[in-house]
Amino acid sequence: MARETLLELQKKEKAVAERLAETELRHEVGEYDEAQWGQVHKDALADLGAVRDELMDVERDITRLEELDKLVKAKPTPASRGVAGELTLTPSPPLKPAERRKTPIDELAFLKSVTEDDKNAPSPRRASGGQYQPDDLQDAAHLAPVDEDAPVEKTLKCRECGTMNLATEWYCENCGAEMGAL
């Protein structure tokens, strides 16, 4: 069954490769303009890639099945006494102990070498890592309370229909066009 699938996929790969060669020839003689060629070539390459991926999967499956078949055929048959033969386990060779590094790693030096520059880092006295905020910025936040009942201004204009939308919207509320792609 797997071999039949393999043969079918090989035939399909050959046909798709021939179709790709034909499209390349048609492009060379001027039958396709650049826009058509781009799409036709892209489609042909995608088809060929899909067939080759499927072919590789089937070949991988066949290889696995052959390996399993060899394991099954190589398995010794148990002694033919009316009772099932005893299973004997042989211990695997002991694993080598993990080799220790001859020179110790200076982890702190390594971390300093891969992190960004320390000029803007918080001082070691502040273990929390919190950044210093100037007093006037903290006071400014308290001076201008946000009116949550105020209407939100729609600043994003849809290029499809011209409707104004909220800046946080992904799609136009009128026509449904995607706002980020416009």
Q: And the tokens for 131?
A: 């950044």
**Domain spans of the chain?**
2-74, 153-182
Confidence (pLDDT) at 182: 45
CA proximity to 120, closest of 132, 108, 134, 110: 132
Whole-number pLDDT of residue 77:
60
Terminal-residue alpha carbon distance, the chain: 50
DSSP category for residue 26? H
The neighbour count for residue 160, using CB atoms within 10 Å, is 14
The secondary structure of 119-155, three-state, reads: CCCCCCCCCCCCCCCCHHHHHHHHHCCCCCCCCCCCC
pLDDT at res. 163: 93
Asked if 159 contacts 177 with a C-beta cutoff of 8 angstroms, the reply is: yes
Q: Which residues pair with 44 in a beta bridge?
A: none
Q: Which one-letter DSSP state was computed for residue 20?
A: H
Which amino acid type is present at position 76? P
Tokens standing for 159?
A: 């290029």
Distance of CA 65 to the CA centre of its chain: 29
Q: Point out the residues of the chain with pLDDT beneath 50.
A: 83, 182
pLDDT digit string, tens, across residues 88-136 = 666 666 555 555 555 567 777 777 777 765 555 555 555 566 666 666 6
